[in-house]
Amino acid sequence: MKITLLDRSLYLKGLMLLIRKDKEVHDEEKGLMMHIGRSLGFDEDFCEKSIEEILISRHVVDEPPRFSNPDIARCFIRDGLKVSLIDREAHDHEIAWLKSVSRLNDIEERFVDENIYNVLGQIHESVQDTLEIKNFEWE
């Protein structure tokens, strides 16, 4: 699936917004976000700085991303669930925010609920191998 630079940026920013929902960034989340950022073509220093500042920045607008294609949004939601559940705890704020992403991208909210259990089965040491981003080709 083709993904534009704008959609890659929205993808990374959206996942950054997601990890701040529980007001802390766990080591597992940081490692996964670094992998995702590199996979989307972003500089490692940029990703690291973004992760460090996501909790303290007052200038970040907490707005769900609207992607150019609902298929990208579905990938984002599944990857968002993986990021959210990497600490093995589903926070209500994270799930609610992912549902707002689904609504904004014309996807039924139940898509989030239906995928939680599938994703829980994929949370293990090799979660990076199950990320949806590996299916993207850059435009």
Per-residue pLDDT reduced to its tens digit, 92-122: 999 999 999 999 999 999 999 999 888 877 7
Q: Which domain holds residue 91?
A: 2-138
- Write down the pLDDT at residue 124: 62
Question: What pLDDT, on the 0 to 100 scale, is given for residue 6?
Answer: 97
Is the distance from CB of 109 to CB of 99 less than 8 angstroms?
yes
Residue 42's CATH number: 1.10.3680
Quick one: which H or E segment has residue 75?
helix 70-85
Q: What is the pLDDT of residue 125?
A: 56
Give the total number of structural domains in the chain. 1
Task: Find, among 37, 11, 39, 4, the residue nearest to 139 by Cα.
Answer: 4
- Overall pTM surpassing 0.95 (yes/no): no
* DSSP one-letter string for 70-133: HHHHHHHHHHHHHHHHTTS---HHHHHHHHHHHHHTT--THHHHHHHHHHHTT-STTGGGG-GG
pLDDT tens-digit series, residues 42-101: 999 999 999 999 988 888 888 999 999 999 999 999 999 999 988 777 789 999 999 999
